[in-house]
Amino acid sequence: MDRRAIFFLGAAAAAALLIPATEEGLRWVPIWVAVIYVVLAVASWLDWRSSHR
């Protein structure tokens, strides 16, 4: 189990939860943060999987 990927997904979820609470002009910030954390989670999982094969 890749705990780092889970941590990054948790961070993505936290950022996504903040999207509706963010004022419109800055809403792109939590959106991008959430997207980046999802990408990091996938990359981390791929890295973990390759090292555990």
Partner 1 sequence: MENLALVAVVAIALAFDFTNGFHDAANSIATVVATRVLTPRLAVVWAAAFNFIAFLILKTHVAAAIAKDVVHSDVLSIGVVFAGLLGAIAWNLVTYYLGLPSSSSHALVGGMVGAGVAKAGLSAVISDGLSKIAVFIVLSPLIGLALAFIFMVVILQISARVHNVELLNRGFRKLQLVSAAAYSLGHGGNDAQKTMGLIFALLIATHKISANAGVPLWVVLAAHTAIAAGTLTGGWRVVHTLGSRITRLQPHGGVAAESAAAATIFFVTAHGIPVSTTHTITGSIVGVGSIQRLSAVRWGVAGRVVWAWILTIPGAALVAAASYGLLKVF
- Ramachandran assignment for 2, one of left (phi > 0), alpha (psi -120 to 50 degrees), beta (any other): beta
Report the nearest approach of partner 1 to the CB of residue 41 (Å): 11
Cα 50–chain centre separation:
20
Report the nearest approach of partner 1 to the CB of residue 36 (Å): 5
Binder of partner 1 out of 29, 42, 46, 49 (CB under 8 A): 29
Nearest-angstrom CA–CA distance, 38 and 41: 5
List residues near partner 1 by CB under 8 A: 3-4, 7, 11, 14-15, 18, 21-23, 26, 29-30, 33, 36-37, 40
